[in-house]
Amino acid sequence: MNDTEEQKSDGESGSCCGGKTKWIWLALALALGVIMFGKLANKGPSAHCSGGICTLPAPAVATNTGLTVAAVPQGAAGAPVSVKLPRLVDLGAGKSIPCKLMAPILEELKKTYAGKLDVQFIDVWVNPDEGPKYGIKIIPTQIFYDAAGQELFRHEGFFAREDILAKWQEFGVDLAGAAAVPGGGR
């Protein structure tokens, strides 16, 4: 059977997408649609990222109901600490490029200044109620708190390690005596 006879037997003569070919294209389009929908569903709230920051959509309903950080499950970011320390809270998302750049900086600060500084990361795509509690509009956002829990400063966008440490020094927070990390300073 030649190509012309095969097309006629599929019921479509002179068409490139007749019979079996039509169903193959339809199946491929459907599979692509399912894959794209799955990626969008896993992305979390829609955000636009550029220039080192991601803009979050405004919440449809104000969800800042006065809930305290203690409402976060035990051991999760934002849970209360037993010793009053200055605190750096970074609100971002694990899948955001600028937030991914912040992750190693935050981990290094957490390890280097353990016992002197409480460093926390809150993923607002995983915990969407947390962003409105802190009143953030873009990610990443870093919020500096003194040991009494009073907000000192907030920064939006990527914030380098050296700039974070300079800001703590500006507020008179003594982080001296913490273990030095090789390659920590540039």
pLDDT digits (tens, 9 = 90+) for 36-60: 545 444 444 455 565 556 655 544 3
- What share of the chain has pLDDT > 70, as a percent? 54
Distance, in Å, from the CA atom of 121 to the CA atom of 116, rounded to the nearest integer, reads: 17
The model carries a pTM of 0.57
Q: Has residue 180 got a pLDDT over 80?
A: no
pLDDT digits (tens, 9 = 90+) for 98-151: 999 999 999 999 999 999 999 999 999 999 999 999 999 999 999 999 999 999
pLDDT digits (tens, 9 = 90+) for 57-91: 544 333 333 323 333 334 455 555 467 999 999 99
* 93: confidence class by pLDDT, cuts 50, 70, 90: very high
Q: What secondary structure, in 3-state letters, does 143-179 show?
A: EEECCCCCEEEEEECCCCHHHHHHHHHHCCCCCCCCC
Both tokens of 5, joined, read 């006879």
Domain range list for the chain: 3-43, 53-170
**pLDDT, averaged across the chain:** 74
Fold of 53-170: Glutaredoxin (3.40.30)
Both tokens of 11, joined, read 């019921």
CB contact at 8 A, 36 and 43: no
